[in-house]
């Protein structure tokens, strides 16, 4: 059975915010260290924006791991990411290693709330 981390936070309305999660359930497979947000153009010079979500995770197990992240912003917009990023899915997060995962969501402002799910990825 996969373990899930649920995080619900309120954000201030600024162009970049960093949130340290104090209110969450931690799986025994990963430790959430921080979450940061940034609003930026989808493509340089584009009028459309996206929200980049940066998630720092630490592998707290004694074996290499891979994680799937899902973010839902303001109960309607969402995105996913895999940690570590590897198209062939051959890399893993080493025991004790800290990595930063990224989730891109097409959205024009920082969300007023978000939900973050982090699962162990099994292949």
The confidence band for 119, taking pLDDT boundaries of 50, 70 and 90, is confident
Percent of the chain with pLDDT over 70: 74
Q: What's residue 3's pLDDT? A: 38
Query: What's residue 2's pLDDT?
Result: 38
Residue 11 has pLDDT above 60, yes or no: no
pTM of the model: 0.74
> Would you say residue 20 has pLDDT above 80?
no
| Domains of the chain from N-terminus onward | 5-120 (2.60.40)
Q: In the numeric block, which tokens belong to residue 75?
A: 């109960």
Average pLDDT of the chain, as a whole number: 76
Examine the pLDDT at 44 and tell me if it is beyond 90.
Answer: no
Confidence (pLDDT) at 116: 86
| Token pair in block for residue 101 | 């995962």
Q: Give per-residue pLDDT as tens, 49-107.
A: 899 999 899 999 999 999 888 888 887 889 998 888 776 677 899 999 999 999 999 88
The two three-digit tokens of residue 29, written as one number: 């497979």
What 3 state SS string does the chain have?
A: CCCCEEEEEECCCCCEEEECCCCECCCCCEEEEEEEEEEEECCCCCCCEEEEEEEEEEECCCCCECEEEEEEECCCEEEEEEECCCCCCCCCECCCCEEEEEEEECCCCCCCEEEEEEEECCC
User: Is the separation of the CB atoms in 16 and 25 below 8 Å?
Assistant: no
């Amino acid at each position: 059975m996969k373990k899930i981390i649920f995080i619900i936070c309120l954000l201030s309305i600024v162009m970049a915010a960093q949130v340290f999660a104090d209110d969450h359930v931690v799986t025994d497979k990963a430790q959430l260290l921080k979450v940061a947000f940034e609003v930026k153009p989808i493509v340089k010079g584009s009028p459309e924006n996206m929200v980049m979500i940066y998630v720092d995770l630490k592998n707290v197990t004694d074996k290499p791991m891979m994680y799937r992240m899902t973010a839902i912003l303001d109960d309607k917009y969402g995105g996913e990411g895999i940690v570590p990023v590897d198209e062939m899915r051959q890399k893993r997060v080493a025991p004790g290693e800290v990595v930063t995962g990224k989730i891109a969501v097409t959205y024009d402002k920082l969300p007023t709330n978000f939900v973050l799910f982090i699962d162990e990825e099994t292949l």
